[in-house]
A and B are shown apart, each in its own frame.
Chain A
């Protein structure tokens, strides 16, 4: 495997998305290539950084309430018609 081919497999390896055979080939190349090894470490770090540093916002309370109402409206309506009878 050359570096170009390894590059194609790099992200998929970071994400555990390679087939067994691909993974074996990729690891073999890493063991022989210092540059790709360094790049692989960096790619793993980059993923970690995104996971750690990107903050997830909380949905506003008003939105939560309106979504809850959205999914209970029909029942409410039916309940009301039942009551009126």
Chain B
């Protein structure tokens, strides 16, 4: 890290100004490339930790690290994927290595949040008796979180964040074939969960096509 060194004060002003310009350029680029993904990163952190204050810490750490190593970011590649990878590594270091339980899972908070939003059954324009569309946000959330982490993770990265298989494979450090099969099995498990909800509310799932 660059600490202001008093001896430097004697050095020529022009050198400092150009350094500052360089730094300014880096900041501008960082804001355009990296800071724009703040919301996505926060959501990912929230899904991993299930705890808002842990999530904030993770995002802070991620941006600190990303800024420090911004020069090693390969220009032209997906910056969001690069940030997600850093966040995931931070998460593993923080919670797995220290065997610190990822902060107490705050289901109430999630529940409150989902209750606070307008969440009404079958309010879609879909007229067909499509039970999938009648599901509540909260139910889908719970179904997703009931999956083992390895499945939940790839579904999240693919369906919510829109990463390619190659980017996901890099993030979870597994071959693309593994990503493929985890997505296949994960979606199947998820479907079984969602059908459970549908049945519970009296939707007939036998004749779905």
| Interface, chain A (partner B; CB < 8 A) | 7-12, 14-15, 17, 38, 41-43, 45-51, 53-60, 62-64, 66-68, 70-72, 74-75, 77-79, 81-82, 84-85
Q: Which residues of A contact B39 (CB under 8 A)?
A: 56-59
B54 at the interface (CB under 8 A from A): no
The docked-state distance in angstroms from the alpha carbon of A41 to that of B209 is 8
By the criterion CB–CB under 8 Å, are B20 and A75 in contact?
Answer: yes
Can you spell out 13 A-B residue pairs with CB atoms less than 8 angstroms apart? A8-B184, A12-B183, A38-B208, A43-B187, A50-B190, A57-B43, A57-B46, A63-B56, A71-B30, A71-B31, A74-B2, A84-B9, A85-B9
Interface size class of B (residues with CB under 8 A): 35 or more
B16 at the interface (CB under 8 A from A): yes
Q: Select from chain A the residue with minimum beta-carbon distance to B56.
A: A63
Q: Which residues of B contact A78 (CB under 8 A)?
A: 4, 16, 19-20, 23
The docked-state distance in angstroms from the alpha carbon of A46 to that of B208 is 13
Most chain B beta carbons < 10 A, residue from A17, A53, A66: A53
The docked-state distance in angstroms from the alpha carbon of A74 to that of B21 is 11
Shortest 10 CB-CB distances between A and B: which pairs? A53-B140, A11-B183, A59-B42, A11-B184, A50-B159, A78-B20, A46-B187, A53-B137, A17-B165, A45-B132
B 123-135 binary contact with A (CB < 8 Å = 1; else 0): 0000000001101
B13 at the interface (CB under 8 A from A): yes
By the criterion CB–CB under 8 Å, are B59 and A67 in contact?
Answer: yes
Q: Select from chain B the residue with minimum beta-carbon distance to A39.
A: B188
By the criterion CB–CB under 8 Å, are B140 and A49 in contact?
Answer: yes
The docked-state distance in angstroms from the alpha carbon of A85 to that of B13 is 9
Most chain A beta carbons < 10 A, residue from B27, B136, B137: B27
Closest-CB distance, B30 to chain A (whole angstroms)? 5
B35 at the interface (CB under 8 A from A): yes
Pick the contact of A49: B16, B114, B132, B180 (CB < 8 A): B132
